[in-house]
A and B are shown apart, each in its own frame.
Chain A
């Protein structure tokens, strides 16, 4: 009996040495969330345009002397939504009581989504349009129609750009 018991203990000891120790594994979850809200950001360089005087016979259209405006438009919007950049003049070009119709100001653009156009003081004009979120860079080169029917003076007008990201 005693011999049998000893043999049984020895056999168990041998099995314990052969079989691998059981492993322990534990899993736990963490929930990660991120809120992405609509946001729009617009940068224009330079912030002013200059049109020097010129002979209408030689320069029927005067380009701005300080180059095109570089436009950087950044927007995060809902999927498939239309992001738009528009421009509206606050008046005609004015020098005291004298004016130059704002329609004399036109522009040409470069860059994806950017459009050519003519300035208006009555309705916003589309400068660019895109779909969805992203960063867009382009240029807008203005020209002023030149004519002899202009009273001398220094004319100014403000152009208001609006970037909309729904």
Chain B
């Protein structure tokens, strides 16, 4: 009797389960937006902040070279952004009331994007130009035009380097 009742209940349950549909698995989604800010950044490194030219005989040394400066120009900008590095003298080489024109200072360079040039106190001169972000490294070697016409003295001048990343 016991057995028959259990059997009947099991069958009823099985019969009920066969007629009731199986419930579907449920999912939920949500979005997360990731924002990363990359701003325009410029970083300039120079291996030396002084350049010196020793006295020399103009006949044997018409151009006096200084030790090379290693220049590092790092910039983060748009993919087509024009990154520029320029130099400009604050005035002529000056010793008291005597001057030597800044244009007597020239330079040569190594490294992709770096260009040779002649110093000017009137306008910034291009030292390097690149497109887009990057880490640019090169060298700049200054040369001073020697002459018998210079008055004796210790001349000095400040050169400003400007790196711009739009």
Question: What is the interface of chain A, defined by CB distance below 8 A to chain B?
Answer: 21-39, 41, 74-79, 132-135
Q: How far is the CA of A78 from the CA of B95 in the complex (A)?
A: 11
Question: B156 and A35: CB pair below 8 A?
Answer: no
Question: B44 and A28: CB pair below 8 A?
Answer: yes
Question: B39 and A33: CB pair below 8 A?
Answer: no
Question: B163 and A30: CB pair below 8 A?
Answer: no
Number of A-B contacts (CB under 8 A): 142
What residues of chain B lie closer than 8 Å to A76, measured between beta carbons? 148, 150-152
What count of chain B residues pass the 8 Å CB interface test? 53
Do A24 and B39 form a contact, CB below 8 Å, given A30-B46, A32-B156, A32-B159?
yes
Q: How far is the CA of A20 from the CA of B148 in the complex (A)?
A: 53
Provide 17 A-B residue pairs closer than 8 Å at the C-beta atoms, listed in order of the A residue.
A22-B40, A23-B164, A24-B42, A25-B163, A25-B164, A26-B44, A26-B164, A27-B160, A30-B46, A31-B51, A33-B156, A36-B151, A36-B153, A41-B57, A75-B148, A77-B152, A78-B153
Interface residues of chain A: helix, strand, loop or mixed (majority): strand
* Cβ-neighbour of B151 out of A21, A30, A74, A77 (below 8 A): A77
Question: A32 and B157: CB pair below 8 A?
Answer: yes
Q: How far is the CA of A137 from the CA of B146 in the complex (A)?
A: 19
Which residues of B from 20 to 74 have beta carbons under 8 Å from A? 39-44, 46, 48-55, 57-59, 64, 69
What residues of chain A lie closer than 8 Å to B142, measured between beta carbons? 32
Interface: B19 (CB within 8 A): no
Q: How far is the CA of A133 from the CA of B43 in the complex (A)?
A: 44
Q: How far is the CA of A161 from the CA of B155 in the complex (A)?
A: 32
